[in-house]
Amino acid sequence: MTTEKDFLPNREEDYENDTLTNKHLLAEHEYDGIRELDNKMPFWLRWLFYLSILFAIVYLVRFFIFKSEDLYQLAEYNKEVAKAGERPSAAGSETFEIVLLEDDASLASGKETWEKTCAVCHMADGGGLVGPNMTDKYWIHGNTLEDIMNVISNGVIEKGMIPYKDQISAQKRLEVASYILARLQGSTPANPKEPQGDLYE
């Protein structure tokens, strides 16, 4: 009976050497007269092998044991899409309904903002100075609440109207815009500035 041991050379002279290269031949490893050299695996290939084992272990632990990562691209994709959908609110940019505020508290708060921030250019009574008159029916950028909110939020930098979206909250901007429409419009200021823009009836 032959055992595996019979094939393994145990002394140097048991190795058979190749006649061309004089390197060890693999013992008992022959087919159609062709024999293989008993070479060691190259260093880089061995390490590639070890590292792939290491990678497999890390992968197994992360994906199958701790499940800290999505195994399927689709799950990952769906998560990204959901995240993209909720970004605006997460970033704190208010989704805001623009409706005219008519309650006294809101208009009082709007008046406060107006007098504190806007009056230097538009006058406390809205008569206009550097900025246009807010009491007449003439508007440069439109007379709807949206138009006014848009000017207050984004300004008209080149004409000297400051964008306030980073300085005044959306709620406060809506209050002051409402104050313009509900209180300043149609009032009679002490020194009204001449009309600017188009007449809106």
Q: Could you list the residues that contact ligand HEC (CB under 6 A)?
A: 113, 117-118, 120-122, 130-132, 139-141, 148, 151-152, 156, 159-162, 164, 176, 180, 196-197
Minimum CB separation of residue 81 from ligand HEC in Å reads 38
Name which of 16 and 115 has its Cβ closer to ligand HEC.
115
Confirm if 9 and 27 have CB atoms less than 8 A apart.
yes
Minimum CB separation of residue 162 from ligand HEC in Å reads 5
Minimum CB separation of residue 106 from ligand HEC in Å reads 14
To 5 degrees, how large is the angle CA 85–CA 90–CA 94?
95
Half-sphere exposure of 192 (CA within 13 A, CB side): 15
**For the chain, first and last CA: distance in Å?**
113
Confirm if 115 and 123 have CB atoms less than 8 A apart.
no
Name which of 61 and 130 has its Cβ closer to ligand HEC.
130
Name which of 83 and 159 has its Cβ closer to ligand HEC.
159
Minimum CB separation of residue 190 from ligand HEC in Å reads 19
Q: For residue 141, what are its two tokens?
A: 């950028």
Name which of 14 and 201 has its Cβ closer to ligand HEC.
201
State the Rg of the chain over Cα.
41
Minimum CB separation of residue 173 from ligand HEC in Å reads 7
* Spatial CA neighbour of 175 closest among 103, 125, 94: 103
Name which of 24 and 141 has its Cβ closer to ligand HEC.
141
Q: How far is CA 100 from CA 109, 153, 180, 181, 183, in A?
A: 14, 16, 10, 8, 12
